[in-house]
Amino acid sequence: MWGGRFAAGPSAIMREINASIPFDKALWGQDIAASKAHVAMLGAAGIVSAEDAAAIAAGLDQVAAEYAANGVPEDWDLEDIHMTTESRLAELIGPVAGRLHTARSRNDQVATDFRLWVRDCLDQTDAGLHALQVALVTRADEHAASIMPGFTHLQTAQPVTLGHHLLAYYEMIRRDRSRLADARVRMNECPLGAAALAGTGFPIDRDATAAALGFDRPTANSLDSVSDRDFALDFLMAAAQISLHLSRLAEEFIIWASQPFGFVVLPDSLSTGSSIMPQKKNPDAAELVRGHSGRIVGALTSLMITMKGLPLAYSKDMQDDKPPVFEAASLLALSIAAMTGMVAEARFREDRMRAAAELGYATATDLADWLVRQADIPFRQAHHITGSAVRLAESRGIALDRLPLADLQAIDPRIDDRVFAALSVEASVAARASHGGTAPGQVKLRVADARLALGWAPGLEG
């Protein structure tokens, strides 16, 4: 490829450090699609003859069929997927293959291919997250009234419903999907035709190639077109945030599946055993999701550092843009699938969750609220009275609603026997009926909202 300028070929070291075919072969489908759009435009514009354009398009179809059947060959002398494809095309149709590269450069070629790949990845990720949301909403509906302890600082705080807890993750994923949608809008501009960095003197039709590849428009600046990797960073930023949410959900399942909690029985299909302890059922899938989040965040950091000091336009550093994106995309897809299966197939132990909700004086706030509503006591004073009641119950090792009325009245005589109706965990969750609260009725309303937003209903595919 460099014979006109260099008297000698590259050294073995240069050959190895320069080759990207081991990883950028993943772009072969996008490379074929972009090349076909480009040659169709060249033919329509009269830059190459109709006969040559047809021969090139047919040859590209044959190359694509070979790749699909046998994979992409790795010849490091050809460096990358672009030269690998062009070389094979030349073997199939002869010198006319050389006309394909008219009015383009590998710089705009790879920028286009990579955008197409990331765009496909955004769509696939969004579809995976939709499936996870369907699983979360399905289980939330099933457990709209299943009581469990709500935590702050991992200490029992107030009773909540499992449905409410699961819908919290639905909301996280909803925001994640909005990030993917935003990223897709920003990146859907076509760099093809920017050539090496300055555009081209050929009378090309960039609107035609952009439309053929499903882009909204061509990019507006040729320098930016070939040097921009914001679209890859946008994906990685969204992937990092998604992975953090998945990691939090995975951590909850890990905790809930532990024997001291026992809130959930994980599916066998997403668990492993121990080589020495036959009783073990380890939450390895959830732990790997938690671990993958670190690698995905690392991929984001890697590309950010690669791009941070690059002058315009293209620099060879940018060859290292694809491995972190490919790795993050693969890990993220696995993580989404694992947590979707975990949510859908786990068996929740409502008895253990409810028993735990009755521990730790979780209805203490309900006593304070009752004092405010029924005795017209300022909340700060009610908080102090309730704290005294909790201290007394704790000293006796009993639940708050097991304290005799006389003992409660000794703390404050304004307490009467109506208070006990407010101190059960059922009453506690039922009382939290404000918009977005944990009351079963509110959970059912949010489930209905979610189904509408997802375009999904029970008995239909999500």
Cβ distance 48 to 99 under 8 Å? yes
Close Cβ partners of 176 (under 8 Å, ≥ 6 residues apart): 129, 238, 241, 242, 245
Length of the chain: 462
Catalytic residue among 11, 49, 274, 388: 274
Close Cβ partners of 377 (under 8 Å, ≥ 6 residues apart): 371, 385, 412, 414
Close Cβ partners of 397 (under 8 Å, ≥ 6 residues apart): none
Cβ distance 403 to 393 under 8 Å? yes
Active site residue 274: yes
Cis ω for the linkage preceding 313 (within 30 of 0): yes
Indicate the pairing of strand 217-218 with strand 189-190.
parallel
- Inter-residue long-range contacts of 94-101, CB under 8 Å, 24+ positions, other chains counted: 96/52, 96/55, 96/56, 97/56, 97/59, 99/39, 99/42, 99/48, 99/52, 99/56, 100/35, 100/38, 100/39, 100/56
Annotate 251-306 with DSSP letters as a single string.
HHHHHHHSTTT--EE--GGG-B--SS-TT--B-HHHHHHHHHHHHHHHHHHHHHHH
Question: Cα(106)–Cα(72) distance, rounded to whole angstroms?
Answer: 18
Active site residue 153: yes
Q: Is 151 helix (H, G, I), strand (E, B) or coil?
A: strand
Active site residues: 153, 274
